[in-house]
Structure 1
């Protein structure tokens, strides 16, 4: 088994031990840190995934964005091109369940938003290193999207998702900031 597979497996095992109160508590603490960040405050259009346990809960973050009048866009994966189509979400009923139980925007009910209109991307991942590199879920969708994205990037992580190092490949792009329950890791560009 390669290093990435082994790491994915061990992180998933650690995260599966988080009980619901702990999961919600840490997700809440992380969300509070996010709302205080300059990136969140200055962003008008925010791209974020609809979380699936054991990722940090993003439903509360999406709600907060709506309350604050921010435009929230969520990704529709395009498996053929391995691309992401971010679409504006105005209510949760505009989501449908697709492969692997992921929730994605219903195309007929949502509008596509161009990469140039997005101020902040909350980049998902399974594990993160202190240098901003992430271990994704294996599709490479975000690395492709971020390759020519000019805006701000942050990731949200439980402390069990922070690791010493991650096997890095040439196309991997680090995020600018990692927000976790106990603080924020700033990564120089």
Structure 2
């Protein structure tokens, strides 16, 4: 079985595993994982940055959908601390753009029912990608080497490649994911172009890959 087939098989398996977690359990674990991210990573990053530049962080995160780990608590805490929160929008042609999150009134269901910024919300320019400090990446399966299986669209892999082009203008951000324990596997089948994560946010702890 080649890598693509292994990915497809694992994607189906883990989608079923995640969907089988009770809704109340998902909610509680999501909030706990967000708290781990805030307390152990974002809080210290914000403190270090404020000493240098006197401003908040810039966070790029997905807007959770269906049985994904919810990012709601994390977004709320970031906004309370004066951070800039960016969220994605996918066009009909399959291009992902970033937009500043200005509250629920700026969000509407997209083509697949996934919440995303309305067309009227300005695009965050690629020239400012270097300002991003942390990217919260969605996914279905993860391993302790930073491997991740997404939904097959390759949006975040291409985004990471774009960021490499602006590294000299700001820097490469950290990449992390919120996940449930059931989503951890021994090894994710990976290809050379696949994004590698730096952090895994679980309800009980933060796992540092590097």
> What TM-score does the superposition give when structure 2 sets the normalisation length?
0.83
Structural mapping, 1:15-94, within 5 Å: 15-39=18-42, 41-42=44-45, 44-78=57-91, 80=93, 82-94=94-106
Distance 1:165 1:140, change over 3 A: same
Which residue among 114, 122, 131 is the counterpart of 1:102? 114
Unaligned stretches of 5+ in structure 2? 47-56, 164-171
- Distance in 1 between the 2:45 and 2:208 partners? 17
| TM-aligned CA deviation for residue 148 of structure 1 | 4.3
Which ranges in structure 1 are unaligned for 5 or more consecutive residues?
Answer: none
Report the count of equivalent residues: 187
RMSD of Structure 2 on Structure 1 (CA): 1.7
How far, CA to CA, are the matches of 1:93 and 1:73 in structure 2? Answer: 15
CA spacing shift, 1:120–1:164, aligned 2, 3 Å: same
Provide the secondary structure at the position in 2 that maps to 1:51.
coil
Q: Give the match for residue 119 of structure 1.
A: 133
Q: CA deviation at 1:40?
A: 5.3
Kindly state the Cα deviation for residue 111 of structure 1 after the two structures are TM-superposed: 4.3
Q: Which structure carries more strand by proportion?
A: 1
- Is the Cα–Cα contact under 8 Å of residues 97 and 123 in structure 2 kept in the other structure? no
Q: Tell me the residue number matched to 2:160.
A: 146
Please report the TM-score for the alignment, with normalisation by the length of structure 1: 0.91
